[in-house]
Amino acid sequence: MREDTRTRIQEIALRLFTEQGYEATSLREIAEELGVTKAALYYHFKTKDDIVASLVDMRLAELGELLAWLRSRPKTPETRRELVERYAAQVRETRHLGIERFMQRNQTALRDHPTLIKIRDRMMELTTEMSPPGATPAERISHSLALFAMHAGKWLMKDDELSEEEIHKACLEVAARLLEP
């Protein structure tokens, strides 16, 4: 039951942070939406930062698994393609989409948030590990951009122009081109 409540708090907070903004959402509002007292909410999370940290920790764990997988493989074009496919599968998950939307809409408030700095650092590790030793700067940048293509398509394409599936396929196609020698 404790995990169910934590998950529900995360879901509600994520929605409110995205809709109203991180700074404009109070713990009281989250508690009211959940239908619990503020004291009950405090049992799980003392601050809004604690909620954000818990959401980011899930993403950090996913990125850590990808990084461990990547480090266990040879730095070949096939490995890079599979990494992009694995990464693409992660960013399509509903939970990830919600966290991404939240971070995108609250960039100013969260710019220097310690947990988000951890995500940036983990992404830098992942992109650094993608390229073999001796890769040119252009190759390293191209390999890194292949991962970011999975986000850019969603930001650049309007929802009413293409379906989610069409955007996803286009992002994968662009990523594949970026991985070519």
Assess whether 88 and 6 both reside in one domain.
Answer: no
Assess whether 79 and 35 both reside in one domain.
Answer: no
Q: What is the pTM of this model?
A: 0.79
Write down the pLDDT at residue 3.
Answer: 64
Assess whether 175 and 88 both reside in one domain.
Answer: yes
More confidently predicted of 140 and 181: 140
Residue 158's pLDDT band (cuts 50, 70, 90): low
What is the rounded CA–CA span in Å between residue 120 and residue 117? Answer: 5
Write down the pLDDT at residue 129.
Answer: 94
Instruction: Tell me which of 14-18, 21-25, 44-48, 113-117 is least confident.
Output: 113-117
Assess whether 35 and 109 both reside in one domain.
Answer: no
Assess whether 90 and 9 both reside in one domain.
Answer: no
Assess whether 129 and 170 both reside in one domain.
Answer: yes
Assess whether 165 and 107 both reside in one domain.
Answer: yes
Task: Describe the crossing of helices 164-179 and 137-156 by its angle, rounded to 10 degrees.
Answer: 170
Q: Which domain holds residue 34?
A: 1-46
| Residue-averaged pLDDT of the chain | 88
Write down the pLDDT at residue 181.
Answer: 76
